Amino acid sequence: MTIQWYPGHMAKARREVATAIRWVDVVLELVDARIPSASRNPVLGELIGDKPRLVVMTRVDLADPDVSRRWIGFFARQGGRAVAVDARSGRGLRGIGGAVRELAAPSVGRWKKRGVRNRGVRVLIVGIPNVGKSSLINRLAGRSAAKTGDLPGVTRAQQWIRTSEGFELLDTPGILWPKFEDPETGLLLAATGAIKEEILPLEEVALFLLKRLQLTYPRALAGRYGDLAGEPEDWLEQVGKGRGLLMAGGRVNVAAAAELVCREFRTGRLGRISLEAPPDEASAEGVDNG
């Protein structure tokens, strides 16, 4: 299965980012803490280049805390910087301001040498759809400054937001890339809600989730849906039957069971779960916290 979603506004946003990157001091690259690798857009990486960047792992409240700590260590070993935040509660936001000022110091110094002293630190915020950019901006700005929503593709136009710390934030629409080299990347993005459900084979995404969780968080999975037995292709039937998702004649509504699995994963009903471990460790199958 190949999952692709690259509407026209994303191509336009890519061009806008390429232009804006020249005028900012620091880039905040937002990734989903549950899939920090799959949610990094390689196209954005190319556009950012050598510009100082801070990787911001969002939705950390939904991710396995131990795995998130390991990811921060991974980024540090790669020579980068990363922080984990929960934009809804504000946890972790304090680490952003200090890191941004430190990363921006060389650029600010160059501006001061040119006689520009009242210019705020300019920060570009980039990431894939539905990674929490607008929610983070609202937290940093201390007000409802950016349009927010739970669906990918809410932010369509660039807008500058000034914060109380003197930062000037530039929000950009979420951007995916035209082709996923690894089919699993599409499944991971679909599982976390970065791709609109209207174009998804949701049953396949749900089955992918069940298989992954059976390997990595079997106790959490069993605690929610009971022991899934037999072939994986039968698991959605078992979930639907256990939850009473039945149609006329007693048949299981497999589509409803698939929607249930995806929704309960995305909202944390299955617990705090990470679908990827750092690549310098074991594969995702080594996440296992039960």
166 is in an annotated binding site: no
Q: What is the pLDDT of residues 150-176, one digit of tens each?
A: 545 544 455 678 887 888 898 877 787
Domains in the chain (CATH in brackets) are 8-171 (3.40.50.300), 201-286 (1.10.1580.10)
Q: What is the pLDDT of residues 176-187, one digit of tens each?
A: 776 777 889 989
107 is in an annotated binding site: no
Question: What's the pTM value of the predicted model, to 2 decimals?
Answer: 0.86
Q: Give the total residue count for the chain.
A: 290
Closest CA to 192 of 92, 268, 126, 243: 268
Burial class (CB within 10 angstroms; exposed 0-12, middle 13-18, buried 19+) of 77: exposed
Q: Across the chain, how many H-helices and E-strands are there? A: 10, 6
283 is in an annotated binding site: no
Q: Rounded mean pLDDT of 31-55?
A: 92
Q: In the predicted model, is pLDDT for residue 3 greater than 70?
A: no
113 is in an annotated binding site: no
Give the pLDDT band (50/70/90) at residue 8: low
134 is in an annotated binding site: yes
* pLDDT recorded at residue 145: 58
Instruction: Kindly tell me the sign of the dihedral angle through the C-alpha atoms of 86, 92, 93, 99.
Output: negative
Q: Which of residues 138 and 198 earns the better pLDDT score?
A: 138
